[in-house]
Every structure is written in C-alpha cells, then in structure tokens.
C-alpha cells in the first residue's frame, strides 16, 4: 500500500524519488518503509544520504560545544551554499549569506551547522 501511494505521489509531483516511512508514534516502531522508484536491491530510505536539517541542529551544536571544539561565539562561513562530495548544492531556506557566530548559525543556518560538524569530525 505504501509503495502505491509513493508511486501516486511521484506521478502527481513529477518527483525523481520519494521515501515513505510509517511509524507508531507511541513506540517509534517502524511499521512500513519504502522508496520509489523501487530499484532492485536499492532502497532510498536506507541507502541514501540526507541532510540533518533543523531538527538535528540542536544535537550537532550540542556536540560541537560539548567537545570544546567550538564556542557559542565561534564564527562560521554561511556566505556560500554547501557542496556535497557527490556534487549536490545545498542552500539554507532563509539564507543569511554572511559569516555568523555559532549561536546565529543555530538560529538561521543548517549548512553552517554541517560545516561546524565537518570542521570538528571530518
């Protein structure tokens, strides 16, 4: 059923690929997991890389601060989009396009949080 809904959504939106994950919100149990297109042996949900986004910024910034590798005043470059190793260009939704402190990055920039992570852990 999930696969057919993904295919319908892909047709409707002209998406190149879609991932669907259904969980029990009470327990976190994964009830269904699928991706479209259904390439043999490849599932985008388990085999693709995804950006951390705003939800994980808290954990990333906490880790950077906890290790002592940065302070809340550490400056990070948010002037340019982030290029991934596979050539994808990632931009902030509300880009500030300037150098920002880690505190400002936490509020305004997912790409610079990723840069902070890379700077600390490669």
Cα separation, 53 vs 118, whole angstroms: 15
Q: What is the pLDDT of residue 121?
A: 46
**Phi-psi category of residue 68: left, alpha or beta, with phi > 0 → left and psi -120 to 50 → alpha:** left
Nearest-CA neighbor of 61 among 48, 76, 49, 79?
76
Predicted TM-score (pTM) of the model is 0.52
Helices (H), the chain: 2-13, 44-47, 53-66, 102-108, 110-121
> 4, 54, 109, 112: which is the annotated catalytic residue?
54
Cα separation, 22 vs 33, whole angstroms: 6
Whether 114 has a pLDDT exceeding 90, the answer reads no
* pLDDT tens-digit series, residues 69-80: 889 999 888 888
DSSP state, residue 16: S
85 as an active site residue: the answer is no
pLDDT higher at 118 or 61: 61
């Amino acid at each position: 059923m999930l696969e057919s809904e993904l295919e319908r959504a892909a047709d409707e939106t002209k998406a190149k690929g879609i991932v669907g994950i259904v969980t029990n919100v009470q327990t976190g149990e994964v009830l269904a997991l699928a991706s479209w297109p259904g390439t043999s042996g490849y599932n985008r949900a388990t085999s693709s890389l995804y950006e951390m986004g705003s939800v994980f910024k808290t954990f990333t910034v906490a880790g950077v601060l906890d290790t002592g590798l940065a302070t809340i005043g550490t400056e990070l470059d948010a002037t340019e989009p982030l290029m991934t190793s596979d050539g994808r260009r990632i931009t902030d939704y509300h880009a500030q396009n300037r150098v920002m402190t880690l505190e400002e990055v936490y509020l305004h920039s997912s790409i610079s949080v990723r840069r902070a992570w890379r700077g600390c852990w490669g």
